[in-house]
Amino acid sequence: MSIQYYEKENIFQLNTQTTTYLLGIVDGTYVGHIYYGRKLRNCQGAYAYLRTKDAPFVPSVNLREKCSFMDAFPWEYSVYGVGDYRESCLIVRTESGYRGCELSYVSHRILEEKPVLAGLPSTFGKEGRQVQTLEILCSDSCIGLQVVLSYSIFEDSDVIVRSVRLLNTGQKKLYIEKVFSACLDMDQNNYEVLVLSGSWARERHMTKYPLRSGKHVVSSNRGESSHQEHPFLALTSPGCTQDCGEVYGMHFVYSGNFLAAAEDSQFDSVRMVMGIHPEGFEWVLEPGSSFQAPEVVCIYSDQGLGKMSRALHDFYRNHLIRSPYLHRKRPILINTWEAAYFDFDADYLVEIAREAGTLGIEMLVMDDGWFGHRSSDDSSLGDWKVNEEKLPGGISALVERVKAEGLAFGIWFEPEMISPDSDLYRAHPDWTLQIPGRVPSMSRAQYVLDLSCQEVVDYVYECVASILRNADISYVKWDMNRQLTDVGSSFLTGEKQGEVLHRYVLGVYQLQERLIHEFPGLLLENCSGGGARFDPGMLYYSPQIWCSDDTDAIERLTIQEGTALLYPLSCIGAHVSTCPNHIVGRITPLKTRGHVALSGTFGYELDITKLTDKERERIRKQIQMYHEYHRLIQDGDYYRIASWMDNHLYDCWMIVSKDQREALVTYVQVLAKANVKSRKLYLKGLDEKSCYRLEETGELFGGDLLMYGGYLAAPEKGDFVSRLLHFRCLDE
């Protein structure tokens, strides 16, 4: 049993394989947080940690200081307006305009399942990996609000998934101004904050800083989870490394605006919260209706970041990604974007396919530029009709020609957008997000479709689906190339304009749900101007997400390191692209580009018709390499060995098969140094009692020697050079 309720003490104990979470009810009313950390055998004596015996005591003992109690109590869910001045999770306004809420425990139930959240991505249990859920019902009878705090315990993954549901039980409307999904009140322990931040083409760089007094916030108010900040927040013990130290992480299963904060407050306590960004958000809760807030994945590791990463990778593989491609070999694809941008026609695409086929590439993906009269990014979004000048005979004719070359076919869409220069815009100018009287701000010469409106969602769906119905298309890249502004809908009343941002995200989810339902065999890859919507929410719909428009192998080291902190390598979209790199101009060896892309979905994005024989030979080798290692990379355990962000010289990571019989180490010497000896790479995750053979050289090593003595990597000549080390266990 993962969930135990101790009635006498009024304590709930939530256990995963290696962690325990304790919460308790004080005075039969207040739901308080007691403990989250290493697994405890029992919770004897734990009630005292709620500090109800410390002044100012609980309101039933000392009502005159209720306010002080509210502001110091470790809440399971913090509310605004009645004395807790720290970051709140819930702000509700009544019809008369009053804000203020106080939640009292009413009842609880334990479910032997993980409920599905309608319309939202939701983690799930699996046969043999059952999940229990604790739901605590609280209410505020003064305003007629019920709040259900939900905790699903994924025992096998060391993960607790939290969410919150609100129900209006009164006779009048309530206005939700803020609803977060999770709150964690702990004692301050000199924590450091770890977040992933960046920009376009520089996504998810790991950033760490000490938690000082006050609030530390990461957020997106851009309508998507964003390039700039990631919906992830961790507090770590000082000096936490890959292998040692404590980590408390929260990761939001949502793809729109978010806010996560860590607040160090006056009594040496710290609060972590995460949820939908309150800015621009308001939801009208009609009497009898409910609102479901998205899920937050909560994780604790007592063995550093590495344990957290591996637990999250397994968790997402087992309990979030639904695609039949999860464990299936992904086709090696060639994408036309960096090869041709908008400048292609059917003959050129077939030429690419022919050339790619001879090298062993398995799918051609036609990127942007095939529809309307699009020959730059200035037009045609919304007009999902093939450009017959470029592709005479339409898509099905092209698909048949590509298939005749032995390749499957994939296609690009940007369904959420509309160009002012499009037939769709001319027919339906009211279908864009806009504020009456104001010309919406353009970005990449495009506007955003109002996906809060069901009619627009239905239209968009038919555009995409009818193309897929009429040609043999195996893969869709779903792009989204601008962030939201002028967030107003022509279809909602003034009172409901605060719902547009969230309804937009629900519209995207609905579209993708319908798509994978109608086309169950489709491989869907999400993308947003690179990796601006790389989040657990999108993973529920697509097993892979384009990681970044920056395909330079060296830049990718940092981007992929940050991404792999949370996500399995099987969902990280990565391609070998041309040199000099189109974004940074750097020249790196084709071999290194292949090694870096191999730790992702693997594919190509270059003009394959213009390669030298040597390059063609190298690509053939890379393709063999992919066939040999894809299973290990897709399903294995990830260990970070060294980070060039820290050492400024080299990068190294490895994947170990679950049975420890095989391991693949990727080593990149970013910068060469004069007069140095061989460098020790301390491998991880091997069986210390086993003997391993390095396949490239036939050398034998003990697993313990490789881990504690290190593998000696000889210095190489040149910058940006890389090696793959493949170890196989010899023991039976």
479 is catalytic: yes
User: Applying CB under 6 A, which of residues 32, 275, 530, 568 lies at the interface with ligand DGJ?
Assistant: 530
Listed ranges 57-65, 224-232, 272-280, 523-531: which one lies at the site for ligand DGJ (CB under 6 A): 523-531
User: Applying CB under 6 A, which of residues 105, 124, 151, 337 lies at the interface with ligand DGJ?
Assistant: 337
Rounded-to-integer distance, Cα 74 and Cα 83, Å: 13
Taking the least distance from each CB to ligand DGJ, the nearer of 164 and 366 is 366
Least CB distance to ligand DGJ at residue 445 (A): 11
Taking the least distance from each CB to ligand DGJ, the nearer of 384 and 546 is 546
User: Applying CB under 6 A, which of residues 76, 362, 421, 549 lies at the interface with ligand DGJ?
Assistant: 549
* Residue in 546, 637, 550 with CA at minimum distance from that of residue 600: 546
List of E strands, 537-606? 544-546, 572-573, 576-577, 603-605
User: Applying CB under 6 A, which of residues 527, 557, 598, 668 lies at the interface with ligand DGJ?
Assistant: 527
Q: What token pair was written down for 450?
A: 């109002």
Other Cβ atoms within 10 Å of 175 Cβ, number: 17
- The number of residues that bind ligand DGJ (CB under 6 A) is 11
552-591 core/surface letters (b: 16 or more CB in 10 A; e: else): bbbbbbbbbbbbbbbbbbbbbbbbbbbbebbbeeeebbbb
Taking the least distance from each CB to ligand DGJ, the nearer of 84 and 367 is 367
Taking the least distance from each CB to ligand DGJ, the nearer of 174 and 547 is 547
Taking the least distance from each CB to ligand DGJ, the nearer of 549 and 555 is 549
Q: Got the DSSP string for 468-536?
A: HHTS---EEEE---S---S---TTS-GGGGGGHHHHHHHHHHHHHHHHHHH-TT-EEEE-BTTBTT-SH
User: Applying CB under 6 A, which of residues 12, 73, 546, 567 lies at the interface with ligand DGJ?
Assistant: 546
Q: What token pair was written down for 121?
A: 């991505």
Question: Is the previous residue joined to 74 through a cis bond, with omega within 30 degrees of 0?
Answer: no
Listed ranges 111-119, 277-285, 303-311, 526-534: which one lies at the site for ligand DGJ (CB under 6 A): 526-534
> Does residue number 24 form part of the binding site for ligand DGJ (CB under 6 A)?
no
Q: Please identify which of the residues 140, 367, 383, 549 carries the catalytic annotation.
A: 549
Least CB distance to ligand DGJ at residue 594 (A): 19
> Does residue number 412 form part of the binding site for ligand DGJ (CB under 6 A)?
yes
71 is catalytic: no
Least CB distance to ligand DGJ at residue 551 (A): 9
Interface of this chain with ligand DGJ, residues 349 to 388, rule: CB under 6 A: 367-368
User: Applying CB under 6 A, which of residues 231, 256, 294, 529 lies at the interface with ligand DGJ?
Assistant: 529
Q: What token pair was written down for 501?
A: 């941002």
Least CB distance to ligand DGJ at residue 519 (A): 20
Question: How big is the CA angle at 276 (ends 275 and 280), to the nearest 5 degrees?
Answer: 150
Q: Tell me how far the alpha carbon of residue 640 is from its chain's centroid.
A: 19
Taking the least distance from each CB to ligand DGJ, the nearer of 411 and 670 is 411
Listed ranges 504-512, 527-535, 656-664, 678-686: which one lies at the site for ligand DGJ (CB under 6 A): 527-535
Least CB distance to ligand DGJ at residue 334 (A): 13
> Does residue number 479 form part of the binding site for ligand DGJ (CB under 6 A)?
yes
* Residue in 470, 478, 479, 570 with CA at minimum distance from that of residue 515: 478
User: Applying CB under 6 A, which of residues 15, 422, 446, 481 lies at the interface with ligand DGJ?
Assistant: 481
Asked if 95 and 76 count as a contact pair (C-beta separation under 8 A), the reply is no
Q: What token pair was written down for 117?
A: 């959240």
Interface of this chain with ligand DGJ, residues 53 to 82, rule: CB under 6 A: none
Q: Which long-range contacts (CB under 8 A, 24 or more apart) does 123-126 make?
A: 123/152, 123/154, 123/161, 123/253, 123/295, 123/297, 123/315, 123/319, 123/320, 124/319, 124/320, 124/322, 125/154, 125/319, 126/318, 126/319
Asked if 157 and 124 count as a contact pair (C-beta separation under 8 A), the reply is no
Residues belonging to the active site: 479, 549
Q: Rule CB under 6 A: which residues touch ligand DGJ?
A: 337, 367-368, 412, 479, 481, 527, 529-530, 546, 549
